Amino acid sequence: MPPAIPGKPIDSDIEHTLRQHVAFLCNTLPHKFPGSQPVSFGSHHLQALQREDYWVCEKSDGIRLLLFIVINPRGNVQEVYLIDRHNKYYEQDGLVFPHFTDPIRSLRDTLLDCELVEDTDPRTGMKTLRLLIFDCLIADSENIMDRPLTKRYGRIRDRVYKPFSAMLTKFPEFRKQLPFQIAVKEMKPSYHVASVLSSLPTLQHTSDGLIFTPVTTFYVPGTDSNLLKWKPKADNSIDLLLLLHFPSSTRPSEPDLAALPRAALYTWLGGSQYAFFDLLALSPSTWEKWKASGESYHGRVVEVAWEEKTEEWRVLRFRDDKPNANHVSVVEKVLESIRDGVEPEEVRSSLSFLAKRSYFVARTSSTSDPRSLERTRRRPKTAGTTATTAAGETHQINVGYHAPCG
């Protein structure tokens, strides 16, 4: 179970102003989460890893967030927020980030890509909430999304983490007021993938795969076809919208909310459009557990994986941290990864020989300027409140019509 997001939601007017400001800094749309999203790994990506420069890190099974540091012009006071994938802002008390040139000054507009995890000490069982920073979009009011990963990662360490860590060393009493601990996520050249895979069992938080980040390309808001998410073949999953369709009760106009419903899964088409994908095999025993829990399951995003033995979709967890199900284009890529999955040994053997090639090692340590490369930014399109059935028909989806369970 992912940890809860710390902090408090903010006033809608202030949130609107902050969204506009972040959109201005990132050159993105204000109503969209500006973070980058990976694509699922397929066997054809092995050639890309051999051909291009990539860094690899473990894929934490936590909550994806952005950390936003901003100066409030009223009073010239620094404020810190966490931004979730719903583009909701949570104000954080107790966090202070000094400026890298002068610890007396405050760091200005800075936007960091992070994952919130809950680490558990295997000896004591003590749990620690930790924010792992792995990328930087804005550093002290400077947009660095068009810089290579080496530069962006360096800004995290030099301009954010080092001054922050030095402050805690000088004033250790500040640690008591922190809402969570902060660390920079370790990333390595892709040819070190074997050591990263070997480290997964030793982590104090759950990890469900690897992330391969391209070194020389830009940071891309939304889906980035060069940013790769690898999972073992059996662990590839899809996030789908779950709608429960109940049979009629003795009163034809009212559904029987106690009866076993038809559990339908839908892919996202963009905007408010959804298309029927498949049925979820909901057993009577599982339905009774859901009812007894008192939770609402209808209209939620659910993460499912394909069970080859039973040829059914298996529920992994509910993804309330995600505002939408996976887009149909993402679903197609995940299905391709399920059919054409890459096992750990294939990844190891494909990349291990690169470490022996001195020119490749030298190349991955370079900091080539990617500004000569072309980049196209995708702009999302709005759509109506419709859905497509299994027969291909488009119709209105009323999530509120089918009453939630419990």
Query: Nearest 5 degrees, angle CA 28-CA 330-CA 347?
Result: 110
Domain boundaries, the chain: 8-231, 237-248+259-340
The pLDDT confidence band at residue 232, using thresholds 50, 70 and 90, is confident
pLDDT tens digit sequence for 27-75: 999 999 999 999 989 888 999 998 899 999 999 989 999 999 999 998 8
What burial class does residue 251 get, using C-beta atoms within 10 Å of its C-beta: 0-12 exposed, 13-18 middle, 19+ buried? exposed
Q: Is it the case that residue 132 has pLDDT exceeding 80?
A: yes
- For the ranges 21-30, 36-45, 140-149, 369-378, the lowest mean pLDDT is seen at 369-378
For 357-391, letters b (16+ CB in 10 Å) and e give: eeebeebbeeeeebeeeeeeeeeeeeeeebbbeee
pLDDT of residue 401: 31
In the chain, % of residues over pLDDT 70: 86
pLDDT of residue 199: 93
The pLDDT confidence band at residue 363, using thresholds 50, 70 and 90, is low
pTM of the model: 0.77
Q: How far, in Å, are 111, 245, 406 from residue 297 at the CA level? A: 34, 12, 8
- Could you tell me which residue, 405 or 192, shows the higher pLDDT? 192
pLDDT of residue 292: 92
- Could you tell me which residue, 382 or 45, shows the higher pLDDT? 45
pLDDT tens digit sequence for 183-207: 999 999 999 999 999 999 999 998 9
Superfamily of domain 8-231 in CATH is: DNA ligase/mRNA capping enzyme (3.30.470.30)
pLDDT tens digit sequence for 204-218: 998 989 999 999 999
Partnered with residue 127 across adjacent β-strands are 120
Residues noted as catalytic: 59
pLDDT of residue 195: 93
pLDDT tens digit sequence for 301-344: 999 998 888 889 999 999 998 889 999 998 998 888 888 778 89
Q: Is it the case that residue 397 has pLDDT exceeding 70?
A: no
- Could you tell me which residue, 52 or 253, shows the higher pLDDT? 52
What fold characterizes domain 237-248+259-340? OB fold (Dihydrolipoamide Acetyltransferase, E2P) (2.40.50)
222-230 and 36-40 strand pairing? parallel
Contact (Cβ atoms closer than 8 angstroms) between residue 25 and residue 19? no
pLDDT of residue 357: 55
Q: Is it the case that residue 374 has pLDDT exceeding 50?
A: no
Partnered with residue 315 across adjacent β-strands are 304
What is the arithmetic mean of pLDDT over 355-372? 48
Single out the residue of 70, 64, 92 nearest to residue 25, CA to CA. 70
Q: Is it the case that residue 155 has pLDDT exceeding 80?
A: yes
Contact (Cβ atoms closer than 8 angstroms) between residue 51 and residue 195? no
The pLDDT confidence band at residue 107, using thresholds 50, 70 and 90, is very high
Single out the residue of 338, 353, 382, 259 nearest to residue 43, CA to CA. 338
In the chain, % of residues over pLDDT 90: 67
